């Protein structure tokens, strides 16, 4: 099965982690793209899951948050 991305693309991961020689401008752009996804897209996804599939939202929270914080 083909792998899909979660929050970061393969390129985002490479640029943010500075794998190989990464231009600082490209790294900054990758960080900006990810920040925009977090601020603009993620809240909408959370809202949808909250309403239509709370079990999936719980799975996300278990990964993102400490188990004690849930």
pLDDT tens, residue order, the chain (70 aa): 667 788 999 999 999 998 878 899 999 999 999 999 999 999 999 999 999 999 999 999 999 997 665 5
**pLDDT for residue 47:** 98
Q: Of 15, 41, 19, give the one whose Cα is nearest residue 28.
A: 15
- Cα 32 off chain centre by: 12
pTM, rounded to two decimals = 0.78
């Amino acid at each position: 099965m083909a792998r899909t991305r979660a929050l970061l693309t393969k390129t985002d991961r490479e640029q943010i982690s500075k794998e190989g020689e990464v231009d600082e401008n490209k790294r900054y752009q990758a960080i900006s793209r990810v920040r925009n996804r977090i601020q603009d897209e993620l809240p909408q996804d959370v809202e949808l899951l909250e309403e239509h599939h709370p079990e999936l939202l719980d799975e996300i929270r278990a990964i993102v948050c400490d188990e004690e914080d849930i």
